[in-house]
Structure 1
Amino acid sequence: MRVEYDDVEIEDDLRVTHQGELFTGEVVERSPQGQVIAVTTYFKGMEDGLSAEWYPSGERKAEGSAHYGMAVGVHEEWHRDGNPAARVEFDDQGKLISRQRWAEDGTPIKN
Structure 2
Amino acid sequence: MRTVGQRSAQRSRCQAGKSSRKATARLVADGCSLLASFATSLPLRGPSSIAAAEMARNLLTRSEGTIGELAHLLTDAAIESGEEAINQRTLRLSRYAGPTERRRLFERELT
Q: What TM-score, normalized to structure 2? A: 0.26
Q: What TM-score, normalized to structure 1? A: 0.26
Q: Which has the larger radius of gyration?
A: 2
Task: Considering fraction of residues, name the structure with more strand.
Answer: 1
Task: Considering fraction of residues, name the structure with more helix.
Answer: 2
Q: Which has the higher contact order (CA 8 A, sep 6+)?
A: 2
